[in-house]
Amino acid sequence: MIGKTVIGTARGFGVTLKQIFRGTVTEQYPEYKRPVYPRFRGRHRLNRHANGLEKCVGCSLCAAACPVDCIRVVAAENTPENRVSAGERYARIYEINLSRCILCGYCELACPFDAITLGNDYEFSEYSRRDLIYSKDMLLAEPIKRTPVADPELYDTPTPYYRTGS
């Protein structure tokens, strides 16, 4: 029993000693951003149709699916003079509190119109909690900071063996 403890301790020290003599790796973070996995879930984004109308119809399914209740949707009726979305209603107010969001992606899965998606951007830190409440205009806008995406052919999840047909 004592022999196994000594061997285990020696192996642990061996790992430590190996790391001490290895050179350090410094990431030049603001200048170089490591590509993220293609299925990474980051900053939320509201999408539009090709004709410019919003995809969100204010159904609040995303808010209902959110486990931490960080999405607030207030719907309003479309009028012939003020056509915002393709449906009968549109989201007059759409807010996401990113200080509460756990980036689970349930809102994206619950949306039947693909109106909300989670992009690859992960740099959304702020100095104030109030600034982490993203309004509809902020979610419709293109993100300011861009994060590169790794090659999906190299890093995407492989097809399971039971779906390959062999």
CA 134 to chain centre: 14
Domain span at residue 134 reads: 44-151
Tell me the pLDDT of the chain (166 aa) as tens digits. Answer: 677 888 989 998 888 888 888 877 777 877 888 888 888 899 999 999 999 999 999 999 999 999 999 999 999 999 989 999 998 999 999 999 999 999 999 999 999 999 999 988 888 888 999 999 999 999 999 877 777 777 767 665 555 555 555 4
Asked if residue 2 belongs to a domain, the reply is no
Backbone angle region of 105, left / alpha / beta, with phi > 0 → left and psi within -120 to 50 → alpha: left
Identity of the residue numbered 71: I
Nearest in space to 121 (alpha carbons), one of 60, 40, 58, 2: 40
b/e 76-87 (16+ beta carbons within 10 angstroms → b) = eebeeeeebbeb
Domains held by the chain: number: 1
Asked if residue 134 belongs to a domain, the reply is yes
